[in-house]
Each structure stands twice: as structure tokens, then as C-alpha cells.
Amino acid sequence: MLTHLRDIRRRCAAAAGSYVFREPGHLARRQRQRLEQLRLRSRHALQNIWRERQQALDELALRLPRGMAQRQRLAALRVAHLKSQLQAINPLAVLERGYSITMRNDGRVLKSGALLRPGDRITTRFAKDRITSEVREHVV
């Protein structure tokens, strides 16, 4: 028991003589300094992140109008290309070149006169107008 008591006294004396107990404010100052360093590092890191993000945003803001203009040009080219394709396959464009389309009364386009009989009515469409005719004779 005495040995144990001496050991506790020795440990208490060592603790009482330690720097922390002799200068208790020093530990608090060190912790405040450490806290201030962490605060400054955090602030600096956040400023760097904010600066990088702002720079990326500025770059995107510069690229956006150019990208939109490029997309608009490409879309206009695509529309023009599709328009020319539609015009090329438009049967009415053929009419503008002097051809005509002849149809039965039910609206079906005639590819041959073989199905027509005298007395049948047909419609011929031109570029600007149309006429209705009656078949008088079918010559093969």
C-alpha cells in the first residue's frame, strides 16, 4: 500500500511540475494558434476553390455564345440541306419544270392509261392549276 501511495505521489509531483501545470495559458495559446492556422488554411483553400470555380465559370461564359452560334450555324445548314432534299423529292417541283400529274377521280395517280376507258374522268395537275378531262379514246 505504501509503495502504491508513493507511486501516486511521485506521479502527482511529476504532473505538478510539468509545463502544462506551470504555464496553463501556454496550452490554451497553442490550441488557439493551431485553431487559427486551421481557420486560415480552410479559408485559403475555400478561396482557391472559389477562384477556380469562378475561372471555370468565366471560361464557360465565354464559350457559351460561341458554342450557341456554332450550333445555330450547324442547325441552319442542316435545315437548308433537309429543305433541298425535300425539294428534290417534292413531286410538285417536277411540275415547275413543265411536267404534269394525271389522276383518276378517286385521287390515285395514273402511271399508265391502260386502266382507263372512254368516258372516264381524269384530272391533270400542272404547276399552277389543274384541269378535268374526259377520256374519249384509249390508243395503245
Task: Write down the pTM of the prediction.
Answer: 0.42
Please tell me whether residues 108 and 82 are part of one structural domain. no
pLDDT tens digit sequence for 78-107: 999 999 999 888 877 888 888 899 999 898
Instruction: Please count the CA atoms within 13 angstroms of the CA of 18 that sit on its side-chain side.
Output: 11
Q: Percentage of residues in the chain with pLDDT exceeding 90?
A: 57
In a shared domain, residues 82 and 21: yes
Does residue 17 sit in the same domain as residue 71? yes
| HSE value, Cβ hemisphere, 13 Å, CA-based, for 20 | 8
Answer yes or no: is pLDDT of 40 > 80.
yes
Which CA distances in Å does 101 have to 13, 27, 88? 118, 102, 16
Same-domain status, 36 and 102: no
> Of 89, 106, 122, which one is at a domain's C-terminal end?
89
Q: Which residues pair with 102 in a beta bridge?
A: 124
Is 52 a member of any domain?
yes
Cell matching residue 9: 505521489
Quote the domain boundaries for residue 17. 2-89
- Specify the pLDDT at position 88: 83
Q: What is the largest CA-CA distance in the chain?
A: 143
Question: Is residue 51 helix, strand or coil?
Answer: helix
Q: Are residues 68 and 100 in the same domain?
A: no
Let me know whether 15 and 72 are in one domain.
Answer: yes
Summarize the confidence of residues 60-81 as an average pLDDT: 94
Contacts of 132 (CB under 8 A, 6+ apart): 121, 122, 123, 124
Q: Specify the pLDDT at position 90.
A: 84
CA distance 130 to 132: 7
SS3 134: strand
